Structure 1
């Protein structure tokens, strides 16, 4: 996919397009940012741009690929002879993989201007592999571009990082994720906002999320958060237990509660609110949201949002996940019942 077709990531693509125009590409880049936000997609766009056959090899590079020539199509499908993708074998990138890469990049490109290497999940390199890669970066072969991709740059050997041009990637906006979902995923438009919000700017995750599964998940939380009694105690404790089995599940529970609070806050501050959880302001669930909004004031909503933020950060310290969810849900339940 050429740069022109990429949604979001304006700053990284601007940096790369400027380097293409000025013929000042680095021999190695480090693309870093959260998982699943499109770093590899941009790396492939750069690979297409440097080897696009729309211009003769001897001519100066354009700042974007045509996306239609055989070179672009082969790069897109990752079958171009000068495109190399290095992925972890099992849980790590091993020295044998890097040594094989060393041999490969000593050869001149077979068909394009550059041999282009994507090293995905670079943080999984073991120490031997990282030291072997360091030798490549210290004496980079001509006509080779390496792009290291990671969500954990702090875990990569500092001497490796220092020899790369670092480009930071940030999550997409919800609107950008929704635009991409409309292009790539067939689902009820009313569910797009829910999927985009839960993905938190990670298009990779958004494409993996199943709208039907999300519908079932929200039903569980809506029975607690939107019911007249905010759910009985047994149901509340059961929900907390169900979403406490690992950090990811607990984060999902916090997201659902956070989206519910966000919709309540929207009701408080907008004259014609549109809800993330229901997709519009008209379904029956919207009436339940409106009713719930009368039982919490803005200060209480913000206090619960702060508590969610605190729990989210505390998950990294291995707090008791079930207890944290129980306390959060019980406090919400108590506040709503007190206002009833």
Structure 2
């Protein structure tokens, strides 16, 4: 299997980041701790790996306007591309969090000397999943680590990082590309028509990584079926997605392989889920009036469908656990069970977060048109006519209130307020009904 070169010149729409890190390397100014801050799918992990490749590269190049970049062809570069370099470690959450025992293991590893490279590099992805204990333990490691150790912390925002860790970090900010930039990149990279590039950008909710994933898969057709049917389609697609995951897990040869597969994108059923959610949000906003009972019925159905999906996916792991019990002690099995439960529940929570993100982007686009912005700034450019229709009906004050409402609802979900109540209240107010 061929592996793409891991280097700055292969990054998409992050030229500023590439120049910043390349310049630091060329001047010999390597910080011990970096914080790569930005929203998901902006290329934070690929950039971290490209920087690690440059640090370990046997023959760095000055190329494409960069002061330095990894060659992409030496043994170190190839091993980093294959995630097999012994001196580059990516630390990911065990379940939902990066736990204290993971950080303690990191402390032991950081005390060693590099095996084959110049540096020991540790990438924490995402570092905002450190709990309080593990964050405090990491701070101690940062204070005591040898000069040949480099830490790269990946997080959504600087506020999610312990202030004492933040103060020791060089911040590298990742800007979200404009929708027009994403569409142009998709059209060039995959030879997509303007229409299909717009659909990928829209379904990916303006996140480059998601849009790239969609561009590599078959684009779904989006029907204008109306609220009466769109919410059923959306709920059914959640169920179908769960069944696909069950098949993936059931086909795994071991528990470890199933967990590895769970971290990989499954293109064949990713696009239909996003398309059905997009159509539901469109229909919800375009409906002249909602049935009074709809918010509570839909909220209950959505949460029930997500809970059922999680239970079904957990059940698909049972045969793998039965085999694993023959090889691992009970304590390890218990930890693995907890990690899988956290992973699946995180998937359920992600579906709710992305539903609200989809609504937020619809309202944001409508506000742009209502304020007279250029249509090329729209995320949902493929639904321009719908957005123009909404902008003609809703005034600017109402649209801003709706955006604030969706953002507030997202905050309530993050604080673990009962999801059914949050969704019910949100849809009730969107429909103009009294909560």
Category of TM-score, reference length = shorter chain = 0.7 to 0.9
Question: How far apart are residue 179 of structure 1 and its match?
Answer: 4.7
Matched residue, 1:334: none
Q: Which has the higher contact order (CA 8 A, sep 6+)?
A: 1
Give the one of 155, 170, 174 matched to 1:150: 155
After superposition, the C-alpha distances for 1:75-95 in whole angstroms (9 at most, x for unaligned) are 112111211111111222223
How many residues end up aligned between the 2 structures?
311
Higher percent of residues as helix: 2
Give the one of 226, 229, 238 matched to 2:294: 238
Preserved CA contact (<8 Å) 2:97 2:130: yes
Q: CA RMSD in A?
A: 3.8
Structure index of larger Rg: 1
Question: How far apart are residue 280 of structure 1 and its match?
Answer: 8.2
Matched residue, 1:216: 276
**2:288 is aligned with 1:192:** no
Preserved CA contact (<8 Å) 2:90 2:123: yes
Summarize the alignment of residues 44-193 of structure 1 with structure 2, pairs less than 5 Å apart: 44-54=49-59, 63-179=68-184, 181-182=186-187, 190-193=195-198
Query: Distance in 1 between the 2:97 and 2:33 partners?
Result: 20
Question: How far apart are residue 190 of structure 1 and its match?
Answer: 2.2
Query: Distance in 2 between the 1:35 and 1:275 partners?
Result: 19
Matched residue, 2:242: none
Preserved CA contact (<8 Å) 2:363 2:403: no
Give the one of 302, 306, 316 matched to 2:396: 302
Matched residue, 2:427: 325
Preserved CA contact (<8 Å) 2:204 2:274: no
**2:362 is aligned with 1:256:** yes
Query: Distance in 2 between the 1:184 and 1:241 partners?
Result: 43
**2:30 is aligned with 1:25:** yes
**2:371 is aligned with 1:311:** no
Give the one of 279, 290, 300 matched to 2:382: 279
Cα 1:212–1:189, aligned 2, differ >3 Å: closer, same or farther? Answer: farther
Matched residue, 1:335: none
Cα 1:241–1:255, aligned 2, differ >3 Å: closer, same or farther? Answer: farther
Question: How far apart are residue 22 of structure 1 and its match?
Answer: 0.3
Corresponding residue SS for 1:118: strand
Structure 1 gap ranges (5+): 332-340
Query: Distance in 1 between the 2:207 and 2:422 partners?
Result: 27
User: Given the two structures, how large is their TM-score scaled by the length of structure 2?
Assistant: 0.60
After superposition, the C-alpha distances for 1:305-338 in whole angstroms (9 at most, x for unaligned) are 312222123222568543443333449xxxxxxx
